[in-house]
Structure 1
Amino acid sequence: MTGDESDIYNRSYVRAILSYMKDKYGINDYDPSESSSEAPNHVLVIDEINRGNISKIFGELITLLEPSKRKGANEEIELILPCSGDSFSIPDNLYIIGTMNTADRSLAMMDTALRRRFDFKEMMPNPTLFNQAKIKWQDVSIDFEQLLTKLNQRIEALYDREHTLGHAFFFPAYNAATAGEHEEAFELLALAFKNKIIPLLQEYFHDDWSKIALVLGDNQKLDNAGKEVTDYQFVTQQTIDYSSLFGARYEPDNFGADEYRFKLADENHSVWNRALAYVAIYEPQAIKRAAAMSGVEPMSTPA
């Protein structure tokens, strides 16, 4: 669009795009005489399709998406493009795939016309795709499949199944691990938790750190005496001393006050670099086993 309504159809721009697509992807010139049954299939992928205004994006094209209205079908429909005056129809060898995130609120507002013309297929996280890959670091093995499974089970129990974590969070670490770069894989995993997963959990649970600690299994990281092991906790529970904060005469209001506060480990805290802390997310007993093997109890606080 150039700003002049009479010249909305910018032919030079379209030619440049077509030229690039032919050079980059080997797309042939359009042959109107070619039968779609003889032409190869083509796929158009629209990522995050629900984030746009569907009615404005597709316009009258929405009708042409139906199989019965495509070129060569019994009820074939052609439209005349308003700017170029060319006739337009959709061949039956074009497949349109739209992706969307079920956690987005915009999904509930999806246009009924679009729902009627697309098949909807749910693609939930599938931890088995990690093929039992593991990060082998600091004498332990971090299992991607078990880690993602346990995190999602807890999120589903505390929130809902629509907000479970996808594979993309772990793929950089997974790719490094399968390439044998386990140190790099562990660093990428730690970064994923620090910069992506935990901030996302903050959004999910509205900064309710008690629930975030439950998702991370921090409440289950105990030593043989049943005390919480802070060395391996990403979110620690700390007692609030009201008398030292507000004086001995302070009394909580009628609704009471929380006796504890929760604190996320600092950026440079050693827990981010402890492989066992990630194993203990899905296997809390690993801490007790490690202590028994080493003969040294990790730092604990009263439960």
Structure 2
Amino acid sequence: MAYTAKDASTTLFRYLNITEQSIKVIENTNKRGFIYNTANGEKCVIFIYPISHKSDNSKNFFDTRDSGAYERGVSWNYALQNKLKYFCFAVHDQVEKYNDYVFSLECQEKIIEKVSGTLNGSRIGAGTQVVIPNDYIPNKQFERIFTKNGFFIAVIHRDNIIDYIDKYDNRPYLIDDSLIELDELETNDEDSSQSVALDDEYLSKLSRNRILFGAPGTGKSYKLNEDREKCFADGNYERVTFHPNYSYAQFVGTYKPKPKFRTDGTEYVSYEFVPGPFLRTWINAQNSIKSRTNKNYLLIVEEINRANVAAVFGDVFQLLDRKTDGTSEYEIATSEDMREYLIKECGFEADEIATIKIPSNMYIWATMNSADQGVLPMDSAFKRRWNFEYIGINQGSSKIKDSEITLKPYGTVKWNMLRIKINDGLTEAGVNEDKLIGPFFLSDKELKSLSIDEIFKSKLIMYLFEDVLKHRKGKIFKSDFNTFSKIIDAYNEGEEIFDFDVVSFLPDESNEESALGSVAEEPGKYSTENE
């Protein structure tokens, strides 16, 4: 039989030695949020979760993504509005290893929403629950474990829960060892390894405003993700892709309609301010500074030049000038809508957010490829606020050195050598380097696919014909093939389509290094500050 929220409430009431009749339930929380009087007479808000437990012990978690997300937010807001302490607890006394223990999720609501993919109780995208490590078995009076989501969970024996509530406040949890009297603060070694592994020294060498640029397939997104994994904890970043219709409202925030229900069950539409990825990242970074956890947060912008950046960034553009300490040189005034949201929903004081700056722990990294059709130009004022890092056409090619593909007209050939020969032909035809073929133009999965013939035709040949060689078909494809259909028909018949001998002229392995020449750049060699 499922262990329900009602079961969890009954268990927690027993641990706290209270009854349902003795507490005040917060409206619109389905009796999961309530007011509790602490041992010293202070009031606090408690929201309760049943630990979701699979019978095979394959997963144990707070179901923050689906269960009670709206009610949890109501409880959180009630605590903020009434300046009360707040706790999000989970229990499950029917699981032997969890019997007699309370799990306290030590994180503020807006961060939980972000990781869970929810907003004001509604799903807005992919997300995950807050997972308790499966192999974790509590056996102490008090300890703190670190989850893969980047959250701390305090694990308190029932005998110490009243003392814990008396001493702590999760709006959000403030790291202060002087408050800990229950037991020595400990962190589960396995789950904290990710935090320990973050490379702060490497991050200190990277710009806070950073754009990686280069030809298609040079691994720009891969490089950013590699650096992100090295320097930022899971859950401490957000990724957005710009497109021609992307706007300031989407990037920073705007009012959006949200369906709500009256007490009689009738539905109505309410308009609420919804933050965009920039403001969400700013809130997380600013809260981290306020709570003295000082974690770093990252906003990744893919294809930054496919939108009108001047329009998308708007007044935020002013914040991109950074001082030597990483904070914005200048500040901007917040709009009335933004200010109201930051005060009511995020717990900021009015004087804190009359104006804002980008904090030193907030990073904005982006990718761009000027070869894409329909890209929009950036003006020099915008460009000079970024550090541009060039990813060379052969950078990282050693990773695909041994990758082979079997193509109908040519048999099995090395992908990297074929790519180099195609690039040679493009260069001779006067094609700019930003349209050449990078090592990862075809992914590893595609190179190993049984459908590589179809992928080669639909992805590489089409790119060459439609995007690169609009007026130079005869310079790389045989002159008889002046239409795309002729090239594909010839390919399907096993005819050679390129205007060079693929097999005879491909360099062998001993000459591969010389074939790459001097353009196998080291990462960041062409990095330019304020380009």
Cα distance in 2, alignment partners of residues 173 and 61 from structure 1: 39
Gaps of 5+ in 1: 1-11, 177-183, 214-234, 239-257, 287-303
Kindly report the root-mean-square deviation, in angstroms, between the aligned alpha carbons of the 2 structures: 4.0
**Conservation of the 8 A alpha-carbon contact between 1:72 and 1:91:** yes
Q: Which runs of 5+ in 2 are unaligned?
A: 1-69, 74-108, 117-126, 129-148, 152-171, 173-283, 343-352, 507-531
Partners of 1:41 and 1:55 in 2: how far apart? 26
Q: Which residue of 2 aligns with 1:201?
A: 464
- Quote the residue 1:217 is aligned against: none
- Kindly indicate whether residue 332 of structure 2 is the aligned counterpart of residue 109 of structure 1: no
Change (3 A) 1:43 1:153: farther
What is the aligned counterpart of 2:476 among 198, 204, 212? 212
Sort the Cα spacing of 1:106 and 1:269 in 2 relative to 1 into closer, same or farther, 3 A: closer
TM-superposed CA distance for 1:134, in Å, is 2.3
Q: Secondary structure at the match of 1:128?
A: helix
Q: Percent identity?
A: 22
- The aligned counterpart of 1:225 is none
Query: Matches of residues 169-248 of structure 1 in structure 2 within 5 Å?
Result: 169-173=441-445, 176=448, 184-185=449-450, 187-188=451-452, 190-203=453-466, 204-206=468-470, 208-213=472-477, 235=478, 237=480
8 Å CA contact 2:403, 2:447 repeated in 1: no
Q: Which residue in 1 is equivalent to 2:492?
A: 269
| Richer in strand (by share) | 2
Match of 2:504 in 1: 284
More divergent stretch after superposition (123-132 vs 50-59):
123-132
- Distance, in Å, in 2 between the alignment partners of 1:51 and 1:173 is 26
SS of 1:142's partner is: strand
Whole-angstrom CA distance in 1 between matches of 2:318 and 2:502: 49
Q: Output one character per residue of 1:262-297: Cα deviation in whole Å (capped at 9) or x when no partner.
A: 94241882318xxx989x8543368xxxxxxxxxxx
Measured after TM superposition, the shift of residue 107 of structure 1 is 6.2
What is the alpha-carbon distance in structure 2 between the residues aligned to residue 131 and residue 57 of structure 1?
40
Within the alignment, does 1:147 sit opposite 2:418 as a pair? Answer: yes
8 Å contact from structure 1 (residues 135, 141) kept in 2: yes
- Contact 1:202 1:212 survives alignment (8 Å): no
Per the TM alignment, residue 140 of structure 1 is displaced from its structure 2 partner at its CA by 5.8
Listed one character per residue, the Cα deviations across residues 31-90 of structure 1 (whole Å, up to 9, x for unaligned) are 6473698522222111110111111211121121222198767x4635323423252321
Distance 1:135 1:56 in 2: 44
For residue 271 of structure 1, what is the amino acid of its counterpart? G
> Does the residue aligned with 1:169 lie in a helix, a strand or coil?
coil
The answer as to whether partners of 1:265 and 1:271 remain within 8 angstroms in 2 is: no
Q: What does 1:1-303 correspond to in 2, within 5 Å? A: 19-23=112-116, 24=127, 26=149, 30=284, 32=287, 34=289, 38-68=293-323, 75=329, 77=331, 79-85=333-339, 86=342, 87=353, 88-104=356-372, 109-126=377-394, 127-135=397-405, 141-158=412-429, 159-173=431-445, 176=448, 184-185=449-450, 187-188=451-452, 190-203=453-466, 204-206=468-470, 208-213=472-477, 235=478, 237=480, 263-266=486-489, 269-271=492-494, 282-284=502-504
In structure 1, what is the Cα distance between the partners aligned to 2:292 and 2:428? Answer: 49
Provide the C-alpha distance between the structure 1 equivalents of 2:487 and 2:288, rounded to a whole number of angstroms: 65
Q: Secondary structure of the residue that 2:390 maps to in structure 1? A: coil
Q: Give 3-state SS (helix, strand or coil) of 1:121's partner.
A: strand
Which residue of 2 is the match for residue 297 of structure 1? none
Report Cα offsets for 1:198-244 as digits up to 9, x if no partner. 2222222226432231xxxxxxxxxxxxxxxxxxxxx5738xxxxxx
More displaced 10-residue stretch of structure 1: 113-122 or 161-170: 161-170
Instruction: Please give the secondary structure, in 1, of the residue aligned with 2:476.
Output: helix
Pairwise CA distance, 1:164:
0.2
- Quick check: 1:71–1:89 contact (8 Å CA) kept in 2? no
Q: Which has the higher helix share?
A: 1
Query: What is the CA–CA distance in structure 1 between the aligned matches of 2:374 and 2:488, rounded to whole Å?
Result: 34
Q: Which amino acid aligns with 1:51?
A: R
Given the two structures, how large is their TM-score scaled by the length of structure 1? 0.57
Q: Which amino acid aligns with 1:77?
A: E
CA contact (8 A) 1:130 1:174 kept: no
**1:266 is matched by which residue type in structure 2?**
D
Q: Which amino acid aligns with 2:480?
A: Q
Deviation, 1:101, is 0.8
**Length-normalised TM-score, structure 2:** 0.35
